[in-house]
Structures are given as structure tokens and as C-alpha cells.
Amino acid sequence: MKTFEIKEEFILNGKPIKLISGAIHYFRMMPSQWEDSLYNLKALGANTVETYIPWNIHEPVEGRFDFKSEKNIFKFIEKAEELGLLVILRPSAYICAEWEFGGMPAWLLNIPNIRLRSTDSRFIEKVENYFSHLLPKLAPYQVTAGGPVIMMQIENEYGSYGMEKEYLRQTKMIMQNCGVSVPLFTADGTWNEVLDSGSMIEDDVFVTGNFGSKSKKNTAVLKAFMERHNKKWPLMCMEFWDGWFNRWGEEIIRRDAEDLAHDVKEMLELGSLNLYMFHGGTNFGFNNGCSARGVTDLPQVTSYDYDALLTEDGQPTEKYFAVQRVIKEVCPDVWQAEPRRKTLKALGEFPVANAVGLFNTLDTIAKPIKSTYPLRMEEAGSGYGYMLYKMTLKNYHRENRLRVVEASDRIHVYLNEEKIKIQKQHEIGEDIILEEMAGDNDLEVTILLENQGRVNYGHKLNAPTQSKGIRGGVMYDIHFHQVYEQFTLELDADQLALIDYTQESNHSAPSFYKFTPEITEVADTFIDCSKYGKGVIFVNGFNLGRYWERGPHLSLYCPKDLLKPGKNEIVVFETEGVLIESLQFVEKPVYK
């Protein structure tokens, strides 16, 4: 029987062990990539892999659970064990991770005034329902049952959000009632305010810190905190940040390889660490998170390259070899090897096969939902993607104004299918002028709204803005308009299959562009989006993610798993009125 204990050192099977870990998120890559990524972690000199488990991908609809394909956490753990790696799991209801809504499902927002990450009985009930389905399936993989899982997290950086210890205790109890028997831990920043608020040291729950430099200073704070509570636990950085994430319109953040190696060596001399990220991967679909800064939300990009030790597509970087060297210097007995590499290919350029304007195929892909006042996205559908609102206004034959009240996140406004305004989050609520229209016909106003991603960290988790769509209403002149039709555009494979390309194209409106490339030999590749505006790309029905001309990333990574020899179908949904004439596969990412 395997054993793992936390005493003054980590003890595995009766012997001290220094945990050298790296973060790999199974849900941010295709299953065929897991083995190479895990092997490269092992070859680095690591003995452990860490991963979050996001609630929202496993219970996308309340009561409906999904553990298939890239969501199969169990197969990921088994692959790690095959390669001789220990596993740290972070299955908390909230994970942050620069992931949509910090991993919490959007359907929670249909519960009026729910207080997330708290003892609100409605939230606790939903957490317990989820854990009662997930955790018993994870239990056989624990070290206490002979498996590789040595620790699990209760909550993530809770001290940066709240201080309700009873919430943490209830979560711990639920986890243990669901079969968790390995040591539990919390992870917080390394200053006393968040350690006091977010840890459970009074309940003998192991405390770890998150930081990416100044290891001596940060571990000194962590050690002093433990000593004040009469604990002599080993020091561990649960997130040793080796890079950083990126937001649309900002420069890519890079970290010098030797600077990182120096700080990693310092941390290894003091204790254990988990490199965050070892392999970042991709925010496929509508899963990118969003930063909250003041009144402005700043959505993050599709790529989660993170400037990590492996690139988004899994190639070892200069950082990889620099860190591998210092691991050997501190731990000369570790096993290391040359990492695996892959070949990416430029698969060619292909002309557009068909195109159709959204307004011309709207009735074939979505059924109208009628209501007196506009519905939020979570009320009308899954809460992800886009929502289109239609309303008919009386023509008063003079200039008038329109105002969208309390909506998130970005809107295109059309008058009789002609675009008159785009408003970003901070502009929504400003007057939109409707010019005088001749004739006796009513005015048809259409609003295409995009959910750009819910915040994943900070004070806005419970803010009304995390409920997407139009929350307040639409004012015409100075009154709230009544009677709406809304169309949910989640753009899943079933909805894409209903697009009617025999209808008229109109590139000045939001449009679908279909490509049917014949590919002889599939390979990992990138799709060049540098000539596009803003939108989403689908490869054989799979949502590859968002692109935007703002950059800094102007391409989308396309794993070979999504392509097939022979004919493929790729759909580009472009919202900015940019005419798209070709699709090009390139062998490396494109940046602004």
C-alpha cells in the first residue's frame, strides 16, 4: 500500500520527497497530446503533475455530466501514473485559471441573488451535487487506494476573495464525505491578510503559497505564518509563475529564461514547487476568462501559451532547458531525458466555398424566443456565445435615440439590417442616434450581443455583469421598449449544421464563411487570422476559439486531432463586416 504524509517534510512510502511538479490542464489540449506533455514533464526532472478540474465543463447543464474526450480527467490521471508521475488535483468549485467564470457553471446565475463561494445554502447544495458525482469517481485514484493522487485542494486563493471559514469547513466536509482521504490543502498569495483569510491552518489543512519570484522573501512569510500556528510543515509554492496570460489588445508578456531558472533554483533549495504553467495549452471554444480592472472587464485571448516551458502546441522552449539544468544542480539524482518534439506544418491556402449573411440564415439555425422584456443569455440558453435580439419600433419620422441599459459584453446595433453602432462594455448605455427614416414602414432594430467571457478572479464574481445579455432593457426615446424576439447563437455542431448557404451572402453583416479543404496528411498547424476582423472558427464542428484583429495573437492553434485526411469543413463566423476570401494554415503562430 502506498502512503503519503505531510510532516516536517513530504513523506512518500516512508521516505522524504521533494515535490517537483508542473501544471498541465487536460481540458486545454487534446487527449493525444497528454502523453507527450506528461513525458516532457517527467524528462524535465519532475515527479508530479498538477491540474485543475473545472466544474463548468463537467456539468455544463445542471445535472448533466460530461467526462468524454478532453474532459476525461480519469484517463489523464491514468496516463500520468503510467509515466510514473504523482498527481495533485485541484477540483475546487472555483479554480480561477484564467478560465471562464473561474470554472463555475453559468447556470448558477439563474439562481436569484446567489452568493457564490459562500455558505449560501443554494450554492453549497449545487457544490455538493457536483462533488457527489465527481469525487467518488476520483477516489480510486488516491494514494490511499494505491493510486497516484497525493493531495487535493479545498478552495483556490480564497483569501483574495473572502474570509468565511465556515464555507471552507463545509467544503472540506463535503469532500471527505464523498470519499476524499488524501491530505487537503489551500493555496493563497504570500502576505498575511490573504493567508489569514483563505487558509484553514486552524483545522490542520496544509498551507501553500502562490508566487513566481523572490522565493526567500515569500517562503519566509509562509514559514512565519505556519510558526505562529505551531506548524512545521514543508514549504511549497503551489503556483510558481513562470510566465503570464495575455489579454486582447495588449503586448505579449515574456519572461527571461535565465531569470526564471535562477528563481526556480532558489525555490528548490528552500522546498517544493509546482511550475504554473508547465504546458499552458488553449482556451478552446468560449472558455477564455476575463480580468476585472475597475469598471472595465478585459477578456483574455484564446491562446494560453503563458510563455510556459512548453509552447501552446507543446514544443520545449529555452526555459525548458534552463529549468531542467537547475533541477539537476539541486537534485543530482533525478532522472532526466531529452524532451519530445513535434513537427508543425503549413497545410496550404484554400478559397472560400460558400458564404451567407447571418440575417439570411437566422431562421434556419435558431428559433425565436418571444418575451415582453429582453431575456438574459442564461435564461434563454446556455449562457455562452452570442445572442441576437430583434424589436420593431414605430417610425415617428424624425431623428430619435436608442439606449441599451445594463448589457454585457459587446453589441452590434443594426437598423433595418444596416449597422449603425458598435458599443463595447464601457460604452453600453450611451445614446445611439436613429436617423430620420422616410416611408410608412416600422423600424426593425437588431442587436447582436457577444459574451466575451466572464471574470475569473476578483471582486466582480458576484457582480450583475457576469450575467450576460441585456439585463435592463432597451429604451426608445425615454421609455423602455416592450416585445422582443431573441435567438440564442451558441454555435455548437448541431446549430452549424443548419446554416443555409444557399441564401444570399452579405459580408457587411455578420457572416458565416465555409471552407472545404482537402488535406492529404494531417498535422498540427495554425490558422492565420491576420486578415480577419473578429469572430470564431470551427473545425469539423469543434469550436477552436475566438480571434480578433486587436491581437496580440493573430492565429489560432489547430491540433491535428481536429483534422482528417480528405475533405474537412471549416466555418468562420466573422462579426465585423470583413470580407473573408481564403483560409491559410501556417506552421507557426502569427502575432501583431
Which CATH number fits the domain that encloses residue 154? 3.20.20.80
d(CA 39, CA 46): 10
CA pair distance 33, 558, nearest whole angstrom: 12
Question: 324 and 396 in one domain?
Answer: no
**Alpha-carbon distance 223 to 217, whole Å?**
10
pLDDT at 1: 76
Could you say which of 482, 506, 536 is where a domain stops? 482
- CB of 65 closer than 8 Å to CB of 28: no
Q: Are residues 40 and 15 in the same domain?
A: yes
Active site residues: 157, 239
* CATH classification at residue 529: 2.60.120.260
* Residue after which a domain boundary falls, among 457, 482, 507: 482
Q: Which residues contact 412 (CB under 8 A, 6 or more apart)?
A: 419, 421, 422, 447, 448, 510, 575
- Do 120 and 221 fall into the same domain? yes
- pLDDT at position 411 is 98
Pair (478, 505) in one structural domain: no
**DSSP per-residue codes, 430-488:** B-EEEPP--SSPPEEEEEEEE----B-SSTTTTSGGGS-EEEEEEEETTEE---EEEEE
Could you give the CA distance from residue 439 to residue 460 in angstroms, rounded to a whole number? 46
Q: Based on the domain organization, do 81 and 47 belong to the same domain?
A: yes
Q: What is the model's pLDDT at position 200?
A: 98
Closest C-alpha to 153, from 115, 202, 233, 207: 207
The answer to whether the bond into 203 is cis (omega within 30° of 0) is no
Q: What pLDDT is stored for residue 232 in this prediction?
A: 97
| 8 A C-beta contact, residue 91 and residue 53 | yes
Asked whether residue 85 is domain-assigned, the answer is: yes
Read off φ and ψ for residue 154, nearest 5 degrees: -85, -50
Q: What pLDDT is attached to residue 437?
A: 87
The Cβ-side half-sphere exposure at 520, using a 13 Å CA radius, reads 4
Same domain, 305 and 447: no
Q: Which of 445, 464, 440 shows the shortest CA–CA distance to 376?
A: 464
Segment 430-471, tens digit of pLDDT: 999 999 988 889 999 999 999 999 999 988 999 999 999 999
C-alpha cell at 434: 436613429
Indicate whether 387 and 446 sit together in one domain: yes
Residue 381 grid cell: 440558453
Question: Do residues 572 and 441 both lie within one domain?
Answer: no
- Domain residues for 469? 373-482
- 3-class DSSP assignment, residue 28: helix
Would you say 127 and 150 are in contact if contact means Cβ atoms under 8 Å apart? no
Confirm whether 568 is domain-assigned: yes
Cα atoms found within 13 Å of the Cα of residue 337, Cβ hemisphere only: 11
Q: What is the DSSP letter of 170?
A: H
Q: Of 450, 482, 514, which residue sits at a domain end?
A: 482
**Is residue 382, in this structure, part of any structural domain at all?**
yes
**Residue 446 located in a structural domain:** yes
489 lies in some domain: no
> Is the CB of residue 570 less than 8 Å from the CB of residue 513?
no
Q: C-alpha distances in angstroms, 355 versus 314, 338, 562?
A: 34, 47, 22
| pLDDT at residue 431 in the model | 97
Same-domain status, 446 and 576: no
Instruction: With residue 137 as reference, give the H or E element that holds it.
Output: helix 121-138
Residue 271 lies inside a defined structural domain of this protein: yes
Locate 257 and state its grid cell: 529564461
All residue ranges of the chain with pLDDT < 70 are none
CB 95 within 8 Å of CB 25: no
- Calpha distance 328→335 (Å, rounded): 9
Q: Which residues pair with 475 in a beta bridge?
A: 403, 480
In a domain, 76, yes or no: yes
DSSP string, 80-93: HHHTT-EEEEE--S
d(CA 539, CA 295): 35
Task: Give the burial class of 403: count Cβ atoms within 10 A of its Cβ; 0-12 exposed, 13-18 middle, 19 or more buried.
Answer: middle
pLDDT for 107 equals 98
Please tell me whether residues 68 and 215 are part of one structural domain. yes
Distance CA 75, CA 27 (A): 12
How many domains in the chain?
A: 3
Residue 22 near residue 279 (C-beta atoms within 8 A): yes
Measured CA to CA, the distance from residue 66 to residue 112 in angstroms comes to 26
Contact 108, 126 (CB under 8 A): yes
How far is it between the farthest Cα atoms of the chain? 86
| DSSP string for residues in 225-276 | HHHHTT--PPPEEEEEESS---BTTSPPP---HHHHHHHHHHHHHHSEEEEE
Q: Is residue 29 within 8 Å of 37, Cβ to Cβ?
A: yes
Do 247 and 385 fall within a single domain?
Answer: no
Burial 166-189 (b: 16+ CB within 10 A, else e): ebbbbbbebbeebbbebbbbbbbb
- Report yes or no on 222 lying in a domain: yes
Alpha carbon of residue 288 to chain centroid? 4
The angle at the Cα of 279, spanning 278 to 280, to the nearest 5 degrees, equals 115
Contact 519, 568 (CB under 8 A): yes
Do 453 and 503 fall into the same domain?
no
